[in-house]
Amino acid sequence: MDEHIIELVHLTKKYGAFTAVDDLNLTIQKGEIFGLLGPNGAGKSTTILMMLGLTEPTSGIAKVCGINSTTNPIEVKRRVGYLPEDVGFYDQRTGFENLMFTAGLNGIPKEKAAEQATLLLEKVGLMDSFHKKTGKYSRGMRQRLGLADVLIKNPEVIILDEPTSGIDPKGVREFLNLIVELSRGQGLTVLFASHNLHQVQEVCDRVGIFVNGKLLGQGNIKTLSQQLFKDRPYVLYVDIQRPVANGKTESVSLDEVSRLLQPVETISSISIQDHLFCIESSSDVTSQVATLIVQSGFTMLSLNKKEYGLDEIYYQYFEGGTNHE
């Protein structure tokens, strides 16, 4: 499964003095669900447009399925389904007619297209609105029709740009489940661009954090936090107690703990937070600390290593980053 289906090499897009996408390098494997996570105005949509050949990069190469998107966009667009943010349809036509139009543009014979459109409408749960004009569709229905519209050309890759904005939570859940189901079932590669952390975390195999045109890190959540927080101290939260009679315990002072842990050189500070000792260190000292405490005869009620989740990543970079909208 080591096939690079999307390859971006030194991709840069400038609008005058403003750099929307800055030297982006990214590869996406076949069959994975990749989340492109970034605040509004980070350059996610611009990147997607360059992948589809709808806009020309200032420099660098975008390759999809091994085809250069800038020089040969037609072949790329034959293989890629793109669901734009807030997708629109021809209001005077039914969902079915809209799908047939897209099928026609992709050169699918009429009979086969009709069969497939019916199948897809059923899959996305729009069979009841088969003959309803899309002008009367709700936002969530339009988005689901958009997914059917993307799938009718039988793509290898689907690119979704903020597909869940404006849908209610239940609709979002259904939509995400549908995407996961499709990706797993048909081996589709999915690029999911969103600013919504939790949705990305829920469905994506790998995530790329994209802020101000730069990719700050990529990988699954664990490697991502290692990548982003490698300069940060390791933090341990330990609950240390002194055993007294009858299995009861009493608290230990900060001085005693400091003295106890003195042999561990990498520890930079020890403090008390909410009755827990917070130990900061430049390397992972979990086992050393645990051994020392147990050897000293204290009781260790709990030991927690602080993990940086997406939430921390989010607040660290998104809130700090400037929003362009």
Partner 1 sequence: MNNNITSTTALIDETTQGERRRSAYWFGNAEGIHHPFWVIVSKEISDQLRSWRFIILVSIILLTCIGSMYTAVTNIGHSVKASDVSTTFFFLKLFTVSDGTMPSFFVFISFLGPLLGISLGFDAINSEYNRGTLSRVLAQPIHRDYLLNAKFVAALTVISVLFFALGFLVIGLGLITIGIPPTAEEFWRMIAFLILSIFYVAFWLNLSILFSVRFKQPATAALAGIAVWLFLTVFYPLIVNLIMKSLAPAQMAMASPKQLFDLEELRLTLMRILPNQLFSDATTTLLMPTVRSLGPLTMEQVYGTIPGPLPLGQSILLVWPQVTGLIAATIVCFVLSYVSFMKKEIRSR
Give the C-alpha separation, 47 to 166, whole Å. Answer: 22
Nearer to partner 1, 92 or 287 (CB): 92
Kindly tell me which residue out of 80, 147, 267, 293 binds partner 1, with binding defined by CB under 8 A. Answer: 80
Residues sharing a CB contact under 8 Å with residue 212, sequence separation 6 or more, in sequence order: 22, 42, 43, 321, 322
CB atoms within 10 A of CB 205: 15
Kindly tell me which residue out of 25, 40, 91, 115 binds partner 1, with binding defined by CB under 8 A. Answer: 91
Query: By CB under 8 A, is residue 55 in contact with partner 1?
Result: yes
Considering only residues 268-297, where is the footprint of partner 1 by CB under 8 A? none
How many residues would you count in the chain? 325
Q: Tell me the window of 88-96, 228-236, 284-292, 309-317 that interacts with partner 1 (CB under 8 A).
A: 88-96
Query: By CB under 8 A, is residue 90 in contact with partner 1?
Result: yes
Query: By CB under 8 A, is residue 244 in contact with partner 1?
Result: no
Show the site string, 148-177: x = touches partner 1 by CB under 8 A, - = not: -x---x-------x----------------
Query: By CB under 8 A, is residue 66 in contact with partner 1?
Result: no
Kindly tell me which residue out of 11, 21, 49, 292 binds partner 1, with binding defined by CB under 8 A. Answer: 49
Give start and end residues of each alpha helix (H) in 233-285. 254-260
- We find the least distance from the C-beta atom of residue 52 to partner 1, in angstroms, to be 6
Considering only residues 100-129, where is the footprint of partner 1 by CB under 8 A? 101-102, 104-111
Per-residue b/e over 167-192, b at no fewer than 16 CB within 10 Å?
Answer: beeebbebbbebbeebbeeeebbbbb
- We find the least distance from the C-beta atom of residue 39 to partner 1, in angstroms, to be 17
